[in-house]
Structure 1
Amino acid sequence: MGAPPVVCVVFLSGVFVSALGGDKHSLYYIYTVLSKDVALPGIYEFTALGLLDDRAIDYYNSQEQVKVPKQDWMKEKMQPDYWDKGTQSRKSKEQWFKVNVEILMQRMRHNETDLHVLQWRHGCEIDEADGKPTFLRGIVEYSYDGDEFLSFDDDNMRWIAPVAQALPTKRKWDDVPILNQYIKGYLERECVDWLTKFMQYGKESLRNHSKPDVHALAKKSTTNSGRLILTCLATGLYPKDVKLNVRKFQTSLPEHLLRSSGVRPNGDGTYQLRKSVEIQEDNTADYDCYVTHSTFEEPIITTWDIKCSECWSSSSGLVGGAISGVVVILGGIIFVLINMWITGAENVETVVYYEQAGQKGNSRN
C-alpha cells in the first residue's frame, strides 16, 4: 500500500453495535487479531472484549494476557476460577487466531508486508418486554479486513460464505452437524442464560440513564471558503436510542442532505450522535437541533446562534474534540472491532475447537 499505515479503531453504529430499545438487551464478545505487531500504544496483536448492552464487562490483550473485569459488579459476582478459566481460554484463542490469520492471508494471496485483521463476533439478543427473556437472534460472524468472511445461519443451522475463499471452511464445518446443532443451542439457550444472569448482577449500573448534552455548532468548510458546516451534536446519552433532527425554520431537513456519524460510544459508557449540513456562510436562516431521548420529558431544542466557532481559529473546537473521541487514529488498514463469544461458555468453545483447531496439519479456519 502506498499510503502510510493508519489504524483506526472504531465501533460502527447499526452494523456491529446493536441498536436495542429499553426492553431489549444484548451480550456479545469481540476477538480481533492483527497479522503483525504495529508497535503502537494501546494496539495489541490480539484483544478480546466482552460487551453487555454495549458496555464493556471484561477485557484481555496479548500483552498482559489476563482476562480482567471491566465492571465492579463483575469483579464482585464472578468467582476467581471464572477469571482463571477465562484467561486460559483467551490464551488458547490467541494462538488459534494467530495461526488462522496466516492461513487466510495465504488463501487471499496477501503478503506479510501489509497489515491484515481477522475478527470473530458472536452472541445473542433478547427482549424482556413481558418480564421474561425472549430470544430475538443469535450472531456468529467472522470477518477479514473488515469484510464479512463467514457467518452462521441460526435458523437453518448452516454456514454462509459470501466470498469464494470461505467456501472450503463452510463445507468443512457444515459436514459436522453436531457442531452446528450445538452452536444453535448455545445461541438460543445458554447465551440467553448468561445474558440474563449478567443483567441481574449489574442491574443497577445497567439501568442508569444519562441525559445528553445538545450543541449547535458551526465551523468553516475545508473545501469551500464561503461555506460553513453546521453540526448538531448530542453527547453523553444512555441508553443509546436517540432521535436527532437538524431543522431549518422548524422543519426537519431530509436525511439525504445530512452527514451522520451514527450513534458512537464515548469512553465513559455513554454515546453520542452528530449530524451536519453544509450551508452558505452568510445564511441567516433559523437552524436548530431537535433531540428526543428517553431521559427527556419533552424534546430539547438548541438553536444555532449564527456564530462560527472556527472562522478565526485553526483549533478544532468542540466538534473536533467529539470526533477525536469517537475515532482514534493511531497510524494501512481500517478495521472494525466486532462483538464476540461469551467468555463464560468455555464448553462451547471446546466444541468449536474440535473442528477449527483439533486437526493438526489441516486448515483450521
Structure 2
Amino acid sequence: MKTLLLLLLFCRVSSTVKHSLIYYVTGFSGVSNLPELLVVVMADDIQTVYCDGINRILEPKVDWQKKIFENDPQQLKMHTHYCFMHYPDLFKITMFSLKQIFNQSEGVHTLQLMKGCEWDEETGENRGFMQYSYDGEDLIVFNLKTSTWIAPKPQAVSTKMKWDSDIARIKYYEKFLTQICPDWLKMFLHHGNSSLLRTALPSVSLLQKTPSSPVSCHATGFYPDRAMMFWRKDGEEIHEGVEHGEILPNHNGSFQMNVDLDISSVSPEDWRRYDCVFHLSGVEDDIITKLDETQIRTNWEKSENMTSIIIIISAVVVVVVVFAAAAGFMVHRKKQDQKAPLDNEDSSELSERLDPET
C-alpha cells in the first residue's frame, strides 16, 4: 500500500508543470546598514526585478525584463509606483501600527509580504496567495476563497477587522491574484521562454567516499528543479537503505541532487540487479544508471594513485642515488690511478738522493 501511494505521488508530481510569479517585499526598522524597503520579483525562481524603495533604485535583472519595460511603459510605470510609493507608504504605516500593538519602542524589526500566483501549465489552474509576516512569524494571511483576512496571532485581529472592511482594496487583491498576476506570469513566460521554459538534462555519476560508504547517485546540471531520483532493484523502486538528498542550486542557475544506497548488505553478484533512475518533469525518457563497480568514482582511488606515485618517485630517487654513488666511485678510482705513477716516480727520486753510493 505504501509503495502504491508513493507511486501515485510520483506520478502526480512528475506529470504536472507549474510556473510561479512571486513578489517578496521586506521592510526593515532599526537597521542602519540596510535599505528600509526591498522588493524582489521572482519568476520560476529566477530574479527578474530588484527594487530599493527608499533609494529609488529599480533594476531589471534579466535582459528580457528590460525589454518588457522598454516595450510596455505601463509595466514600468506600475512597478515604479509600487516600489517607490505604494510599498514604502504602506510599510511605514503598518510597521508603526505593529510596534504599538506589540508594545515595541526600539530594536530591529522586519515586516515581510509575499504575494503572487501559481499557474499549472497542463490543467490551466491558477492559485493566488498573499500573506504578511512580522519578525519572522506569520502575521496575517489573505483567504482568496472567502476574500477575508486570517489572523494567526491575537495581536493581528484588529488589523484583520480593519482590512476586511476595506472592500475596495479587497476587490483589487482579488483581481490581482486571479487575473493580473497570471497574465503577467504568462507574459514573462513568453518573453523569457529561453530561460524559464528551458529543459536541461543532467550528468549522472556514481560516487563513493570509502569502500564501506553508501554509493551516491549524483545528478548535476539539470533544469528546472522539478525532478525525482530513486534506486530500483529488479525494476522496482526500493526505500530500505536509501537516503534522499535535497535539490540544491548550482552557481549557473541549474540544479543538483543525489540519492544514496547502502550497499553493506548487497552481495557483489547482486549489484547488477540495482539501478538509479533520474526523472525530469516534462521529459519522457528517464536517465538510468546501472550499479557498476567499474563506474564508481571514489576517493580512495586517488589515494592509491598517490601511493603509486610515491613508490615510483622513491624508486627513481634510489636509482639516482645508486648511479650517483657509482659515478662518484669511478671518479675516485680514476683519480687514484692517475695519482699512483706520480707517487712511484717521486719515491724513486727520493731514494736516489738518499743512496750514498749514487
TM-score (norm 1): 0.62
What is residue 51 of structure 2 aligned with on the other side? 60
Pair 1:227–1:49, CA change in 2 (3 A): farther
Alignment of 1:344-355 (within 5 A): none
Structure 1 residue identity aligned to 2:165 = D
Q: 1: CA distance between counterparts of 2:156 and 2:97?
A: 12
Q: 1: CA distance between counterparts of 2:35 and 2:233?
A: 46
Q: Which has the larger radius of gyration?
A: 2
Which secondary structure does the structure 2 equivalent of 1:67 belong to? strand
What is residue 326 of structure 1 aligned with on the other side? none
1:139 aligns with 2:129: yes
Structure ranking higher on relative contact order (CA contacts 8 Å, 6+ apart): 1
Q: 1:76 aligns with which of 23, 42, 67?
A: 67
Gaps of 5+ in 1: 1-18, 221-225, 314-365
Q: 2: CA distance between counterparts of 1:279 and 1:38?
A: 54
What is residue 324 of structure 1 aligned with on the other side? none
Pair 1:73–1:302, CA change in 2 (3 A): farther
Alignment of 1:190-339 (within 5 A): 190-218=180-208, 228=213, 231-246=216-231, 252-254=237-239, 258=243, 260-261=245-246, 263-275=247-259, 286=271, 289-293=276-280, 294-295=282-283, 297-301=285-289, 303=291, 309=299
1:152 Cα deviation (Å)?
0.9
What is residue 150 of structure 1 aligned with on the other side? 140
Q: What value does the CA root-mean-square deviation take over the aligned residues? A: 4.1
1:138 Cα deviation (Å)?
0.5
Deviations 1:195-229 (Å, cap 9, x if unpaired)?
Answer: 22222222333322111233444558xxxxx9857
1:165 aligns with 2:155: yes
1:156 Cα deviation (Å)?
1.0
Corresponding residue pairs, total: 282
Pair 1:35–1:312, CA change in 2 (3 A): farther
Q: 2: CA distance between counterparts of 1:94 and 1:256?
A: 52
Structure 2 residue identity aligned to 1:72 = D
What is residue 42 of structure 2 aligned with on the other side? 51
Deviations 1:92-147 (Å, cap 9, x if unpaired)?
Answer: 3245435544643554456755x5432211112223437xxx34211111123443
Which secondary structure does the structure 2 equivalent of 1:258 belong to? strand
Which secondary structure does the structure 1 equivalent of 2:114 belong to? strand
1:172 Cα deviation (Å)?
0.9
Greater CA deviation, 50-59 or 211-220? Answer: 211-220
Which secondary structure does the structure 2 equivalent of 1:156 belong to? coil
1:174 Cα deviation (Å)?
0.7
Q: 1: CA distance between counterparts of 2:168 and 2:93?
A: 24
Which secondary structure does the structure 1 equivalent of 2:145 belong to? coil
1:274 Cα deviation (Å)?
4.1
1:33 aligns with 2:27: yes
Pair 1:157–1:245, CA change in 2 (3 A): same
Q: 1: CA distance between counterparts of 2:239 and 2:90?
A: 47
Pair 1:216–1:161, CA change in 2 (3 A): farther
Which secondary structure does the structure 1 equivalent of 2:126 belong to? strand
Which secondary structure does the structure 1 equivalent of 2:116 belong to? strand
Pair 1:155–1:279, CA change in 2 (3 A): same
Pair 1:116–1:235, CA change in 2 (3 A): farther
Greater CA deviation, 192-201 or 270-279? Answer: 270-279
1:121 aligns with 2:114: yes
Which secondary structure does the structure 2 equivalent of 1:89 belong to? helix
Q: 2: CA distance between counterparts of 1:60 and 1:160?
A: 28
Q: 1: CA distance between counterparts of 2:31 and 2:138?
A: 23
Q: 2: CA distance between counterparts of 1:219 and 1:283?
A: 19
Q: Is the 8 A contact 1:35 1:102 kept in 2?
A: no
Q: 2: CA distance between counterparts of 1:185 and 1:154?
A: 10
Q: 1: CA distance between counterparts of 2:228 and 2:118?
A: 22
Structure 1 residue identity aligned to 2:98 = L
1:259 Cα deviation (Å)?
5.3
Which secondary structure does the structure 1 equivalent of 2:201 belong to? coil
What is residue 24 of structure 1 aligned with on the other side? 18
Q: Is the 8 A contact 1:234 1:273 kept in 2?
A: yes
Q: 1: CA distance between counterparts of 2:54 and 2:250?
A: 24
Which secondary structure does the structure 2 equivalent of 1:168 belong to? helix
Q: 1: CA distance between counterparts of 2:150 and 2:46?
A: 29
Q: Is the 8 A contact 1:216 1:302 kept in 2?
A: no
Structure 1 residue identity aligned to 2:278 = V
1:158 Cα deviation (Å)?
0.7
Which secondary structure does the structure 1 equivalent of 2:57 belong to? coil
